[in-house]
Structure 1
């Protein structure tokens, strides 16, 4: 029997949108495996999936080791990852 995506335990990760100042160099993106990106002229949006707060904080620490300035972190609701990462309507 399959699980309903809205049931607790149906997924063990949450998606986060992380905006960083400037463009992230390609060699850094390669090291940030399994991260979706959307680059604009003055910022890069990264979508990552984390199991818990500790994993999110670890990812943010990795970004700092690359010298990236994190300007915003938002938790995305289930089902909004594709809409949020491809759209440019909300600022």
Structure 2
């Protein structure tokens, strides 16, 4: 099974405690949201990330599966 690139958008900023766990992802703060870009190994990892964010009281706005390997970085402005 191959990894998949995702974009995860949450309202507000992510607490430092969770940021330390997300070192493999690219994090972009686009007020009033924080956007995570990166590769997750499977859907279980995605659900785990979502559950962790929910447990920290973050409001999930969007989860988007990105096509291809080159889309794990934020898009150019």
Which TM bucket (shorter chain)?
Answer: 0.7 to 0.9
Give TM-score, length-normalised by structure 1: 0.71
The residue aligned with 1:87 is 76
Moved over 3 A (4+): none
What count of residue pairs does the alignment treat as equivalent?
Answer: 76
Contiguous gaps of at least 5 residues in structure 1? 1-8
User: Which structure has the larger Rg?
Assistant: 1
Matches of 1:25 and 1:62 in 2, distance apart? 12
Aligned mates of 2:57, 2:76 — CA distance in 1 = 27
Identify, as 1 or 2, the structure richer in strand.
Answer: 2
- Mapping 1:9-88, distance limit 5 Å: 12-78=2-68, 79-82=70-73, 85-88=74-77
